C-alpha cells in the first residue's frame, strides 16, 4: 500500500511539472499593468452588458463561461479568438493558485470586455492544507469589492481517469476530500453569504457525502453556490441518489441558494456516466427527456462552464459546440437564454438581465 501511495505522489509531482513546463512561456506584465486598479463596478457591468448586446445584435446567443482554469499557459489572444469563434461573451477566469487572484484583475484591465474578475479557487496545496495565509488573503480579495465571483473549491475530488493505472488512496494528492463543513469551507460559504459573490464547488455526489453539503446550504442560506458538473454519475454503487434526476431535483427544491453547471465530457469518461445525455449507436448525443424536464422546471438554476485548462485547451471548440447543438438547442428558447448567459449574469452582477 505504501508503495502505491508513494507512486501516486511521484506521479502527482511529475504531472505538476509537466503542466507547469509545457505550452508557451509565462507571460509577464509591466508594473503599470500590475498596479492598475480595477474599473469601478458599475462601469465594468456596463462594459460586460455592451459585449453581450453586441453578440445579440448579430443574432448570436451569447455564452458566459463560468469556469475556466488559467495558469498563463495559454496565449490570451488565442483564448479570445476561441471566444469569438464560439460566441462566448465573457469568461469567469479563475487563476491558478500560485498566480493569486490579482492575475484576473490584470487580465480584466487589459481586456475589460472579455474577462470577469474572479478570485483563485481551492484546488491546490494551500487550499487542501487549510493554509491560514491563503484563507486570509482570500478574505481580503473578496471583501475588496473588485471581484464578481470566486473560483472553484474542491471538497471531495476523485483522481483523474488517466491515473487509474495505479491504486490511489484517499488523502493522496490526487484523491482529496476537504469536507464541505470544514473550517476552510465555512470561510468560503461565509464570504459568499456576506458579499453575495458566487463560488463554484466540486463535490462528488456520493450518498454518504451529501449530508455535509446539505448542512452547509441550510446554515448559509445567503451563499450562492454553483455545484459543478451535474449530469453524470461516476459510481452507481455510491451515487444512488444521483442515478437519475431525482437527486438534483431534491436539492434544487430544498435549497434555493444552490445552482448547477453541467458536466463536460472528456475522452477518458465512459459514455454511461453521462446520464443527462442519450447516445445513439452512431455516437450522436441528445438531451435525455428527464433531464430536459428538470432543466425546464428550474430554468433559473443552471449555467454553462467549459471547465477547460491549458492541458485540454484544444477541446474548447468541441465543448462549446456540444452545449449549443445539444443542450441549448433542445430546451425552450427562454430557458436556453437563461442557461447561456442570464443566470450567470444575475449571479455575478446581482441584477436581472433586461432585454
Residue-wise pLDDT for 78-118, tens only, equals 999 999 999 999 999 999 999 999 999 999 999 999 999 99
Q: Where are the alpha helices (DSSP H) in 151-236?
A: 183-195, 210-219
The residues pairing with 86 across neighbouring beta strands, listed in sequence order, are: none
Which domains are present in the chain?
A: 29-349 (3.20.20.140)
State the Cα–Cα distance between residues 320 and 318, nearest whole angstrom.
Answer: 6
* Chain CA centroid to CA 55, Å: 23
Per-residue pLDDT of 189-202, as tens digits, reads 999 999 999 999 99
Strand duo 258-262 + 302-303: pairing: parallel
pLDDT tens over the chain, length 355 residues: 444 444 444 444 444 443 433 334 444 545 554 444 445 899 999 999 999 999 999 999 999 999 999 999 999 999 999 999 999 999 999 999 999 999 999 999 999 999 999 999 999 999 999 999 999 999 999 999 999 999 999 999 988 654 443 344 444 456 889 999 999 999 999 999 999 999 999 999 999 999 999 999 999 999 999 999 999 888 889 999 999 999 999 999 999 999 999 988 654 444 557 899 888 877 778 999 999 999 999 999 999 999 999 999 999 999 999 999 999 999 999 999 999 999 999 999 999 999 9
Residue 245 CB burial class (10 angstroms; 0-12, 13-18, ≥19): buried
Q: What cell was used for 110?
A: 487589459
Amino acid at each position: 500500500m505504501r508503495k502505491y501511495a508513494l507512486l501516486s505522489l511521484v506521479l502527482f509531482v511529475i504531472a505538476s511539472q509537466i503542466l507547469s513546463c509545457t505550452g508557451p512561456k509565462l507571460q509577464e506584465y509591466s508594473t503599470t499593468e500590475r498596479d492598475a486598479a480595477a474599473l469601478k463596478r458599475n462601469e465594468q457591468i456596463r462594459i460586460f452588458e455592451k459585449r453581450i448586446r453586441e453578440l445579440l445584435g448579430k443574432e448570436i446567443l451569447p455564452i458566459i463561461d463560468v469556469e475556466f482554469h488559467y495558469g498563463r499557459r495559454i496565449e490570451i489572444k488565442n483564448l479570445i479568438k476561441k471566444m469569438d469563434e464560439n460566441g462566448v461573451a465573457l469568461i469567469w477566469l479563475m487563476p491558478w493558485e500560485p498566480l493569486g487572484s490579482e492575475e484576473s484583475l490584470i487580465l480584466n484591465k487589459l481586456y475589460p470586455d472579455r474577462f470577469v474578475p474572479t478570485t483563485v479557487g481551492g484546488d491546490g496545496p494551500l487550499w487542501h492544507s487549510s493554509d491560514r495565509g491563503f484563507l486570509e488573503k482570500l478574505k481580503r480579495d473578496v471583501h475588496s469589492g473588485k471581484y464578481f465571483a470566486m473560483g472553484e473549491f474542491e471538497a471531495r475530488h476523485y483522481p483523474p481517469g488517466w491515473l487509474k493505472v495505479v491504486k490511489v488512496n484517499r488523502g493522496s494528492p490526487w484523491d482529496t476530500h476537504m469536507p464541505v463543513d470544514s473550517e476552510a469551507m465555512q470561510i468560503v460559504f461565509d464570504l459568499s453569504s456576506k458579499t453575495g459573490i458566487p463560488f463554484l464547488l466540486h463535490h462528488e455526489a456520493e450518498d454518504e457525502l451529501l449530508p455535509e453539503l446539505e448542512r452547509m446550504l441550510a446554515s448559509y442560506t445567503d451563499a450562492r453556490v454553483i455545484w459543478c458538473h451535474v449530469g453524470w454519475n461516476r459510481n452507481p454503487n455510491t451515487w444512488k441518489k444521483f442515478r437519475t434526476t431525482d437527486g438534483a431535483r431534491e436539492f434544487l427544491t430544498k435549497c434555493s441558494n444552490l445552482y448547477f453547471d453541467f458536466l463536460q465530457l472528456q475522452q477518458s469518461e465512459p459514455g454511461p456516466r453521462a446520464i443527462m445525455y442519450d447516445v445513439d449507436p452512431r455516437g450522436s448525443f441528445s438531451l435525455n427527456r428527464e433531464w430536459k424536464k428538470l432543466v425546464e422546471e428550474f430554468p433559473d438554476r443552471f449555467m454553462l462552464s467549459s471547465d477547460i485548462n491549458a492541458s485540454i485547451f484544444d477541446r474548447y471548440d468541441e465543448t462549446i459546440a456540444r452545449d449549443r447543438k445539444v443542450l441549448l438547442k433542445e430546451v425552450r428558447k427562454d430557458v436556453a437564454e437563461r442557461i447561456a448567459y442570464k443566470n450567470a449574469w444575475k449571479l455575478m452582477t446581482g441584477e436581472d438581465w433586461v432585454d
